[in-house]
Amino acid sequence: MIPTVNSNLRSRIRELIVGVASEPLEESDRAAFGDFILPDVRHFRAQARRFRDKAVKPYVAVMYDEDDHAKANGLDVPIRADDLDDIKRSQLQAIRVLERSNIEVKQLNDVNAMETAFVDRLAEAAAQMFAETYLQINGPTVVSRQETTINSNRSNDTILYAKGYFLSTGTAFGVSTPATAYLVPSRYSFGIMESGGPRFENIVWSCPANVRLRLP
């Protein structure tokens, strides 16, 4: 389910992305929230500047929420380009991974549209984190330590995860099935490593969760 995002949270996220802000949303959440998203925010801002400098049009992946079984409401998710010095080639490499996964990619008209998509997806991820953050009696706020479990269709699949607001070629999660590990509460997509490279499902999950990965 897509978390509910209030207007204040979305405005603060937008300030982080297109404004001059450099701090996490809440001072009390600096360690958990800030350390988790700020590296992505900094990379995205640098990536957006590079797209503008090089006059390169960005692409997004079209993903779907876990509850959107009819796949009626596509979610535009920006694609991370790792090599900012060769932004065009780096974006193309990431697109090839997504196309191999049969994930729809589409070109946007301008960088502003990519920034809007990033704000929307990151605000949803932040809302999920706050939904899993609790205030202890006479203690600090803590983030849920509940683990995420992933079941795939085969044994011994190497499971990959990518952040559901800034898609990458993935990070190792564990070996199925099931694979169980801790992920900071947020929004994620999952895939498997095959001999030809990573392959992802076009679903974004709110974690922690019990994920059923329908690959291959």
Three-state SS letters, 113-153: HHHHHHHHHHHHHHHHHHHCEEECCCCCEEECCCCEEEECC
Q: Which amino acid is at 162?
A: A
The vertex-204 CA angle with 62 and 154, nearest 5°, equals 110
**Which residues, in sequence order, are bridge partners of residue 141?**
135
Give every residue of the chain whose pLDDT is below 50, as ranges. Answer: 21-29, 31-32
Phi, psi of 129 (to 5 degrees): -60, -45
Phi, then psi, of 172 in degrees rounded to 5? -65, 135
Check if the beta carbon of residue 190 is closer than 8 Å to that of residue 160: yes
Q: Extract the tokens encoding 216.
A: 């291959």
- Cβ atoms 13, 122 nearer than 8 A: yes
pLDDT of residue 24: 46
Residue 102, classed as helix, strand or coil, is coil
CA Rg, the chain, in Å? 17
* 134-170 per-position pLDDT tens digit: 766 666 667 788 999 999 998 999 999 999 999 998 8
